[in-house]
Structure 1
């Protein structure tokens, strides 16, 4: 099995798209989102553009700010991935 560089994998694009979708659903601008995370606005922009990798702790913090549980977020992520893979 050949493993692609993770930054270019479809899984990452789905993750960053879902974070943006949840931010929008939470009614937050990128600036408000970044401020709640105590990070610069560029941090939020980098996440949504897919140019920043996240670890589990950061993802958990993001979920808290967005008002979604980590488990619920992962379930939504898996559902989005299934749709993405079905569309191939």
Structure 2
């Protein structure tokens, strides 16, 4: 499993954080929309807590981002496996 500090993961978090700031949404308001404490958003943005895929999708959509666009920006490191 990749570290929460991997370049790919940090790019995802950076995209979410930059969108939040650009839209003038506070950590508190975003957390409230997720029914979470503000510390949840702070920990995600500071790399202290890893997002699961469902949380990532919810955050993306709350910030009017297409999660697929963010995922597609992650470079491919591995070749697809083929069935034998």
Which TM-score band (shorter chain)?
0.7 to 0.9
Instruction: Give, in whole Å, the separation in 1 of the partners of 2:11 and 2:64.
Output: 19
Q: Which 5+ residue runs of structure 1 have no aligned equivalent? A: 83-88
> Under a length normalisation based on structure 1, what TM-score does the superposition of the two structures give?
0.72
How far did 1:51 drift?
A: 1.0
Question: Which of 1 and 2 has greater Rg?
Answer: 2
How far did 1:65 drift?
A: 0.9
> Under a length normalisation based on structure 2, what TM-score does the superposition of the two structures give?
0.75
How far did 1:7 drift?
A: 1.9
- Aligned counterparts, 1:1-88, within 5 A: 5-75=2-72, 78=73
**SS at 1:54's partner residue?**
coil
Q: Which 5+ residue runs of structure 2 have no aligned equivalent? A: 76-84
- The RMSD of aligned alpha carbons is 1.9
Q: Which has the higher helix share?
A: 1
